[in-house]
Chain A
């Protein structure tokens, strides 16, 4: 294996060995503190544009299962790991991690003191970086990293959103969309036998497969559409509900999405149409932006599976899966938390580590969203109830129309 260097925009660098594909890769360097779940992390479209540092030192131990792919291929720009496992040990393992990384040309560096690197990013914020096995000259590499575009304002969604609509869990569509993972197969139970009662349009900003699985599990009949799908097109499906997916990058970088959301909401209000909307992660930010809220960039983001989130209604704690660099601004009024800019948007969940906004709900409209990942993958199953809440909202519509 050849030597490689990870150079950060501040001129701090780490030497290591290249692993997987030999090339150069750049992006915003963020760290993830999850111990397991590297397969999901690699394939999570929200990591588009980012080089992910895994804080846990052994990565690849259980190989690649394919069951845990969260999109049709690895999405990270680069992967920084202390030590990759050279063998895979798990009954589900189909390939070694090395094989997959090579196949999908993911540039990785191992042998890095990832704890030192993590501490550096924690103190100095997430920043641009470049991994290279080609350029040995430090100064040249430093120059190169300055050329890497910052993530702020970029539209990364267009890189991961589906190119055309598809119906997941239906064979034909599947073959085109998913080349690696059979989406309709679940090793623990066959949810395709569950009746699909509610038509839901998923606006795909880089949607994780597990969201689709869970929406399907609770009874949604899904159609996934590209992020830039027009308002009219969406309505043409006569959906019972709209789902806004997760996705990479800066929410301000995709005005076409939150503007569509804004139109959907104002249309439903003006036409008195009951249209439940549920958003996760970027979807959460889209709703906030659509309704006059603001987002800001976190210093080094939240990437992990152990963050405590408090449900302000039940006062219960959920251990959550997190992956975001931006958050929705809040304000406190008379001891209650709202999304800054719109007092119709109540904050429903907060992060107990840094008291940032983790969930919102509209006071009168059937709209709610969370910043974290109830679909987990990877992460705990504490928040699966939110999918049920979405169904309950759509259920209400049934009750209205048949009353």
Chain B
């Protein structure tokens, strides 16, 4: 069937801000869909509130709305754009839920919009657990024993019938929110209550917990003619019980017989047909009882998912693109396989390598509750049915071992593989190995290992290794952890290889051939040069040189969907040491031509005869370094391609657009470590010789901190770096060097010092005076950054960094940086592009929260609302001075603070910042692209002329944009939600409108918090804020709100004649403040914390309860002011008749 001609315009809904459970994989899927639908001649309208995405670039969709993903706004857009169809299966759960809402509200019917991909019935059958269970059992498919409950007593009844252990899952939530495994009655009741609350429809499923069962996933595609194919099978390394998003997963499945796999495949087809997903992809999860092979269906997503992105990258089969084509009427046999060109897409990819995905966690960002110096509750680190990871990496290797070690390297957790890397823990294990089994310390350690295997956390993989090294058997570890013994055995082989390397004698090391062989053998298990250096006691540099001298660069093989059966045309590569020795001697005549070598090293044949530029990506998403950097990398690639050069991308994050093989001219799916990048560089040098081109260099400044960390080393090994040079980057990164720069330029900065010891730190603080802001050097996202108001906190902080012998105990650096904290200062972020001569300020962002909140967690506005022209001029002057001094070529980000009229320089980052995409979308200029072109030698002046843009324009935009962040506090019980210098937001949204209050309102709706127009508001100000709070309270009363407050605040307000009801503190009897919030009696909470939010204060409970109950909480006075202004503005636009706010919507293309 050819494509549908009755549809002309298609609406696509994106997935909104990055949150745990829904990351940039949907930017990847959405971008693919938009590109292919436009190519097919459809008009595409996109709505997404997330400005950091590639898909919201104005050049992709025909009309791009960066607007809140709420029905009111969507109706406006539909009314305006009149699309014939809505494709909702590519924007994650957010998009699917919104589509169902629009259907239920009758909006789709009213405007005659057809849902394509999956219809509402199918979405419901897939999403609603009850319907899903019914559908599955009607189709004759096996499921875990279970029952549904709508209240506690029903729940208890079902628990009795099914028996413990149980898993409780609320219906209609995201990322497994609220689901929990319980082993006894007491746990059960608490968990059931929470789950009933978190379900959008107060429905929970109580289910047989499949303890120790194995978990599998299949990615299924279906077309209109009912052709079904499996794109990829995925086996979870972790057993059932660990959320798939938090599991290490492996593709393809490793331990199934073909008959078992085929049974699963048949079940998957029955499932997708019964659910009725008409076209597109679905992800179906299975559990398998390892003792008898019983297979049950766990769940299905009737849409493209995180696993689909992984499956696409793992196989080369672009699920989202194909799903979009199927949705408009094509069938699988009509779509060509892009990789082979000659074969159709209706086949099942087969792969000849192994893919390992490892999730990335950020537990260090969420401090556990501490009482009297003791950690009260560490359970938040244990992996369970609620997803907690914030990003992922994918390692590709010819074997599981190779893929696993590469993936660990990609995680950027300061490990160079599976151990053997000279860390403190490593030394401890080495020491314990030499002790007898009776040794108490060893036994204690083994007990801890067993505990960690039974209660998996993010370090479980290392615990497996420790267990093996200290004598646990493969079977024991498998029993403790529930992880299949095949995987454990593979890890054992890695550990055995370590031992083999360690045993190598000095004599053997001197035999060149022998050493060569051993290195390649270890390399086939993906041991890094660092690990080899540690194990062989040979300097890393020497190993690198030895490899270079002996032609021991890895082979690069193609991800081709077909295990080499057909020729592949897509330059998508992974490295392996398989065949490295063979490629030098495999012909009896010993005559080798380049095409012979291509059998082994396939990248050699992909020559384009163009000069080359290598772009380094940003690795796994994490807090502080996420999709924004991928956006920048993709723009860099686009710019390079526009200039007729070959763009070569290196990255290892399967969720991203940059790792789509369609994005760059060549993709290396590889770790971004010195070794891996250097190997690629050397290989590309060889190719340059073959196709007689130039390798222009490596681009470091778009990938966040990841490429910067290796920049100096790359340069020292002769790698050409484009743009600002590594030693100049260091000028800004190193606080001491940077202080010298500022002194030289005579620019104001807060009093500052660097301490290398506990004592020194105390001394510096005494000189500077409280409050101070402390942090270890070379960190991103304000890791371990804190504001300290008194000596007790200072000592506590320092004792965490230094041990008794004054040795620095955590992290790679050994310096603590101390700055004077500028209380109540206005903070600014500035992004600029510089060439040798000129500086272009792309955006000045004024933070809404005062200094002290990490810039990544603060809302901000463009253009700034409180700056004078003179201040702007000063900023411009400062930036020019700095750019010249640091010799910036490309992007530069500055953080400034204004206090008492003085503009202080806080920080300079001579690289792309988190705010680049937000700024680009605010002003309508692709500044990352421009920066890239500057790095390629173009003049900034000419580029701006080409884009018809001038410096003045950014000060006369005629509209306002606000960036707001989203925080993952709901996922972490028992952590305080107060904003601090430690960044913890996972994503961002943008509101755009004609003035600041409206843009701010939109940003709040987009971030998921409702700005109320009537009702009760709870106030609780700290003493410092009471005076400022007064004005806010008065305005709220004038706007018709009722106020309630905690005793101190209430007393204060009443004294100033503001009517306000009192509410009990927790210690003052019931109903207390927590009850009021839990009962949803208030519509907004304004609570400013006292500065130390670490104990179980009332404030902590207020904020926590409000967060859990989804009641908006404001924790700063500045944000409260904005909310008040927003309410005023919204009230003006409120239509009493329809009871709706009259929002204006406009696509980005029209704003500029």
Contact = CB atoms under 8 A, between A and B. Distances in A.
Interface string A54-96: 0111100110010110000000000000110111011110000
A39 interface: yes
A116 interface: yes
Interface string A302-321: 00111110100001110100
A378 interface: yes
B266 interface: yes
A317 B353 CA distance: 27
Nearest to A303: B565
A87 B399 contact: no
B352 A115 contact: yes
Interface in A321-359: 352-353
Interface stretch (B134-142, B256-264, B922-930, B982-990): B256-264
A38 to B, nearest CB: 8
Interface string B578-589: 110111011111
Contact of B261 (A36, A139, A317): A36
B252 interface: yes
A118 B588 contact: no
A296 B254 CA distance: 36
Given A57-B354, A91-B293, A308-B333, A352 B347 contact: yes
B599 A92 contact: no
B762 interface: no
Interface stretch (B272-280, B482-490, B686-694): B482-490
A31 B292 CA distance: 32
B1048 interface: no
Contacts of A56: 252, 350-352, 563
A12 B257 contact: no
A349 to B, nearest CB: 13
B587 A12 contact: yes
Interface in B393-431: 398-400
A15 interface: yes
Contact of A61 (B263, B352, B486, B581): B486
Interface string B323-354: 00000000011000000001110111111111
Given A34-B258, A317-B346, A87 B485 contact: yes
Nearest to B261: A36
B77 interface: no
Given A56-B563, A87-B486, A319 B347 contact: yes
A377 B258 contact: yes
Interface in B216-259: 225-227, 229, 233, 252-259
Contacts of B351: 35, 56
Given A68-B257, A118-B563, A57 B291 contact: no
A119 B599 contact: yes
> Taking each of A40, A112, A377, A380, which has the highest tally of chain B beta carbons within 10 Å of its own beta carbon?
A380
B256 A118 contact: no
B354 A58 contact: yes
Given A35-B252, A376-B262, A113 B564 contact: no
A117 B399 CA distance: 17
Given A308-B347, A353-B566, A36 B258 contact: yes
Interface in B1117-1132: none
Contact of B579 (A11, A39, A113): A113
Contact of A114 (B265, B293, B352): B352
A316 to B, nearest CB: 6
A102 B478 CA distance: 28
B222 to A, nearest CB: 11
A90 B257 contact: yes
Contact residues of A: prevailing secondary structure: loop
B563 A33 contact: yes
B573 interface: no
B347 A113 contact: no
B250 to A, nearest CB: 10
Contact of B565 (A33, A35, A113): A33
B1015 interface: no
B290 interface: yes
Contacts of A379: 258, 262
B251 to A, nearest CB: 10
Contacts of A89: 255, 484-486, 489
A324 B829 CA distance: 66
B522 to A, nearest CB: 14
Interface string A119-134: 1101000000000000
B350 A57 contact: no
Contact of A37 (B258, B347, B583): B258
A57 B484 contact: no
A56 B589 CA distance: 29
B293 A14 contact: no
> Taking each of A31, A61, A304, A305, which has the highest tally of chain B beta carbons within 10 Å of its own beta carbon?
A61
B293 A92 contact: yes
B587 A33 contact: no
Interface in A189-239: none
B474 interface: yes
A87 B489 contact: yes
A34 B256 CA distance: 13
Which of under 10, 10 to 19, 20 to 34, or 35 or more describes the interface residues of B?
35 or more
A393 to B, nearest CB: 25
B562 interface: yes
B291 to A, nearest CB: 6
Contacts of B399: 57-58, 82-83
B588 A68 contact: no
A36 B588 contact: no
Given A61-B254, A83-B399, A119 B564 contact: yes
Nearest to B521: A111
A170 interface: no
A380 B228 CA distance: 11
Contacts of A115: 352, 398, 557, 563-564, 578-579
A62 B586 contact: no
A321 to B, nearest CB: 9
> Taking each of A56, A90, A115, which has the highest tally of chain B beta carbons within 10 Å of its own beta carbon?
A115
B1021 interface: no
A142 B351 CA distance: 31
Given A114-B352, A307-B347, A15 B582 contact: yes
A13 interface: yes
Given A36-B258, A306-B347, A138 B557 contact: no
A92 B257 contact: yes
A381 interface: yes
Contacts of A11: 587-589
Contacts of A57: 352-354, 398-399, 578
Contacts of A65: 257
Given A67-B259, A89-B486, A317-B333, A58 B291 contact: no
Given A82-B578, A87-B485, A91-B292, A308 B344 contact: yes
B1002 to A, nearest CB: 46
B661 interface: no
B350 A35 contact: yes
Contacts of A34: 258, 350
A34 B484 CA distance: 22
B629 interface: no
B787 to A, nearest CB: 52
Given A36-B261, A116-B582, A142-B588, A306 B256 contact: no
Q: Which 5 A-B pairs have the closest CB atoms?
A: A113-B579, A37-B258, A378-B258, A11-B588, A89-B486
Given A56-B350, A306-B562, A381-B262, 13 more contacts: A11-B589, A34-B350, A40-B258, A57-B399, A61-B254, A89-B486, A92-B293, A119-B598, A142-B588, A305-B258, A307-B347, A308-B333, A381-B266
30 contacts: A12-B586, A12-B587, A33-B563, A36-B253, A36-B261, A55-B352, A55-B563, A56-B252, A56-B352, A57-B398, A57-B399, A58-B400, A61-B254, A61-B255, A67-B257, A68-B259, A118-B563, A119-B599, A122-B564, A187-B293, A188-B263, A306-B348, A308-B333, A316-B227, A317-B225, A317-B332, A352-B343, A353-B343, A376-B262, A379-B262
